[in-house]
Amino acid sequence: MAHVEQAALPAILGEVKPAVLPRATLVAHNRSFSWITDKICGIIEGKTPTWWWWCFGVACFVASFTVAGLTYLVATGVGVWGHANPVNWAWDIVNFVFWIGIGHAGTLISAILCLLRQKWRTSINRAAEAMTIFAVVCAAIFPVFHVGRIWYAWFLFPIPNYNYIWQNFRSPLEWDVFAVSTYGTVSVLFWYIGLIPDLAVRRDRFHAAGNKLRSFLYGLFAMGWRGSNRHWSNYEMAYLILAGISTPLVLSVHTIVSFDFAVSLLPGWHTTIFPPYFVAGAIFSGFAMVLTLMLPLRAVYRLEDLITQYHIDCMCKITLATGTIVGYAYAMEFFIAWYGANPYEGFAFINRAFGHYAWAYWIMISCNVITPQFFWFKAVRENTTMVWVLSIFVNVGMWFERFVIIVTSLARDFLPSSWGYYSPSIVEIFTFFGTFGVFSVLFLLFIRFLPIMPMAELKAVTPQANVHGDHDDHH
C-alpha cells in the first residue's frame, strides 16, 4: 500500500501547483537601472536648490544656539543650568537619552532587517544610518558638558600622579561611555561600508564629466572599488559581519542606558521593566524620526517610485507595534507599583499622573499611546501629510517620556523636606533646541554630497534583477 502511495506521489505533485504569493513592488513603474542611477546621482550633480540654502542657513542659525549656550556654560559654570537639589539630572540627561533613542532606527533598519532579509529597507536604510550617526553626535554633547570642568578631561586617562585620581570603572555611567562609543564606531563603519559602491559610481560619473577634483575626492573614499566579483564578495561578507555585530548593539546600548536608572533605589527608577521598555521606546522614536525626515525628501525630490506607499505602510506598522508595547509598559509600571505594595513606589506613579508634572505625563500619554493608534486605519497610512504630523507628535511624546521618568522621580523622592520643582534655565533651552540645528546641518550636508539611497541594493529589488523572470521552473 505504501509502495502504491509513493508511486502516485509524483503525479499528485504534478497536478498541484504551489500558490504564487504576490510580492509588494519596491520600485514602482518598472524603472530601469539607469533611471535609478540618474535619479539618485542627479540630486548631487544638479545645481544646489534655493530651498537647500534657506534650510541650511536656518539650521546654522539654530545650531549657533548650542554653541552660544555651551560657550556660556564653560565660561560661567554648570550652575547656569537649572540643576538644583533634588533634581540634579534634568534636561541634559533627558536630551542625551532622547537623542540616543533617535539613533536606534538606523542600525535597526540596516542590521536587523538585513539579517531578516526584509528588502523594503533598501530605500530608507542609507538615510536612517546617517541619522543614527548625527543623533549620536548630538547625544554626546550633553554628558561631556554635564561633567562640568571639561578642561580636566585628562583626569579620565590613567596618567600616573601623586593624588591617585583614577576613573571609576565601576560606575554605571562608565558603561554608557563604552556602549555609546562602540555603537557610534560600528554605526560609522556600517554606514561607510554601504557607501563604497555608490562612491565609486560618483567617482566614475564625475570622471566622465571631466570634474577631476570631485572624481579624485570620491575615488579617495571609494578605496579603489572596481565592482569585480571579488570586491562584491568581500563587500557582502563585511556588510553581513557588521550587521551581526550591530544587532546586539541595538539591544544593548539602550539597555545599558536604562541601567543608569534601574540600579538606583529611587522610586520610579528602581524597576526591572526599564531595559525592554527603553529599547521599544528607542525603536518607536527612531522610526518616527525616519518618517519625519524621509517624507519631506520624498516630496521634494519626487522619490515616490523609490519610497513607495508600501515602505510608508511598513514603517507605520512598526511604529504602531512599538507604540503599543510602550503603552503596555506604562500600564505595567502602575501595576507593578500597586502589586509591590511599596508606598513610595505607589506615590511616585500617582504623583506622575496627578501631581505637579501631570501636564507632562498626559502629553506623553497622548503622543505615545493615543497618537500611534491612528495607524490602524489604512486611510491614515496613505495620507502622507497625516503620517508626517503624527510622526512629529511621537517624537515630542518620547522627549516628554524621558522628562517624566527623570524629573518627576527626582523632584519627589523619599523626604518631603527635600522636594522641589524643576524649571529649565534659558541656557538649557537654547542648548537643547540648538542640537536640532546641529542635526539638521549634518543631515543637509549628507543629502547634498552623498547618495541618499543605496543604488546597488535598489537595483537588486527591481524586476530586471530577477534573471529567471516569472517563468515556472517547477516542471
Question: For position 380, what pLDDT does the model report?
Answer: 93
Burial pattern 401-427, b for ≥16 Cβ within 10 A else e, equals bbbbbbbbbbbbbeeeeeeeebebbeb
pLDDT tops 70 at residue 162: no
How would residue 295 be classed by pLDDT, with cut points 50, 70 and 90? very high
pLDDT tops 70 at residue 48: yes
**Contact of 130 with 446, CB cutoff 8 Å:** yes
Question: For position 164, what pLDDT does the model report?
Answer: 67
Compute the average pLDDT of residues 69-75. 90
- Separation between Cα atoms, residue 137 and residue 4, nearest integer Å: 70
Question: For position 469, what pLDDT does the model report?
Answer: 58
pLDDT tops 50 at residue 403: yes
Question: For position 6, what pLDDT does the model report?
Answer: 55
How would residue 165 be classed by pLDDT, with cut points 50, 70 and 90? low
Mean pLDDT of the chain: 86
Q: Evaluate the CA torsion angle 408, 410, 411, 417 in order and state its sign.
A: positive
pLDDT, one tens digit per residue, over 205-224 is 988 888 889 889 999 999 88
Question: For position 148, what pLDDT does the model report?
Answer: 76
Tell which residue, 111, 135, 421, 96, has the closest CA to residue 258.
Answer: 96
- Separation between Cα atoms, residue 3 and residue 285, nearest integer Å: 60
pLDDT, one tens digit per residue, over 214-272 is 889 999 999 889 988 999 999 999 989 988 888 888 888 888 888 888 888 888 888 88
How would residue 387 be classed by pLDDT, with cut points 50, 70 and 90? very high
pTM of the model as a whole? 0.88
Question: For position 13, what pLDDT does the model report?
Answer: 62
How would residue 472 be classed by pLDDT, with cut points 50, 70 and 90? very low
- Amino acid identity of residue 436, one-letter, is F
pLDDT, one tens digit per residue, over 444-458 is 999 999 999 998 888
Task: Give the angle 164-168-171 at the CA atoms, nearest 5°.
Answer: 165
pLDDT, one tens digit per residue, over 75-114 is 888 888 877 778 788 888 889 889 988 887 778 778 888 8
Half-sphere exposure (Cβ direction) of 33: Cα atoms closer than 13 Å: 8
Distances (CA, A) of 99 to 87, 93, 117: 21, 10, 28
Nine-digit cell string for 264: 538606583
Compute the average pLDDT of residues 295-305. 91
Residue 60 CB contacts under 8 Å (≥ 6 apart), including other chains: 437, 441
pLDDT > 90 fraction of the chain, expressed in percent and rounded: 34
DSSP line for 18-35? ---PPPPPSSGGG--HHH
pLDDT tops 70 at residue 355: yes
Q: Is the peptide bond before 296 cis (omega within 30 degrees of 0)?
A: no
Question: For position 416, what pLDDT does the model report?
Answer: 79
